[in-house]
């Protein structure tokens, strides 16, 4: 298991084999896009690390969901959002997860 850190040096998930597992809460949900974001830089690192699936575990107000996507799909189909001019996020709509 390999910890993945963001630009603030915070652990945002773990690589386990060829899977990246990350957790999200309601405050991480981008309402304008109706989905979730991952840093573009982290997505590029995941691809370089041969990750083939992203498993996003959402701890919502009414229960939990597990969503899956590939890093390549997220990189190609995510909507760009610049977070405080520091970190470009790619937001994938919830409906676009597998």
- Tokens 């990246």, residue? 20
Domain boundaries, the chain: 2-96
Please, what is the average pLDDT of the chain?
92
Distance of alpha carbon 36 from alpha carbon 46, whole angstroms: 17
pLDDT digits (tens, 9 = 90+) for 45-59: 999 999 999 999 999
Whether pTM > 0.75 for this model: the answer is yes
Instruction: Give pLDDT, residue 37.
Output: 93
The full DSSP string for 2-68 is EEEE-TTS-EEEEEETTEEEEEE-GGG-BTTTTEEEEEHHHHHHHHHTT--EEEEEEEETTEEEEEE
Output DSSP code: residue 84.
T
């Amino acid at each position: 298991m390999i910890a993945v850190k963001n630009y603030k040096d915070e652990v945002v998930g773990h690589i386990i084999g060829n899977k990246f597992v990350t957790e999200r809460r309601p405050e991480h949900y981008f309402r304008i896009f109706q989905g979730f974001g991952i840093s573009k830089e982290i997505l590029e690192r995941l691809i370089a690390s041969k990750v083939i699936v992203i498993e996003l575990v959402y701890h919502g107000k009414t229960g939990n969901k597990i969503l899956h996507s590939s890093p390549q799909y997220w990189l190609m189909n995510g909507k760009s959002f610049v977070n405080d001019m520091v970190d470009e996020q790619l937001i994938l709509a919830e409906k676009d997860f597998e």
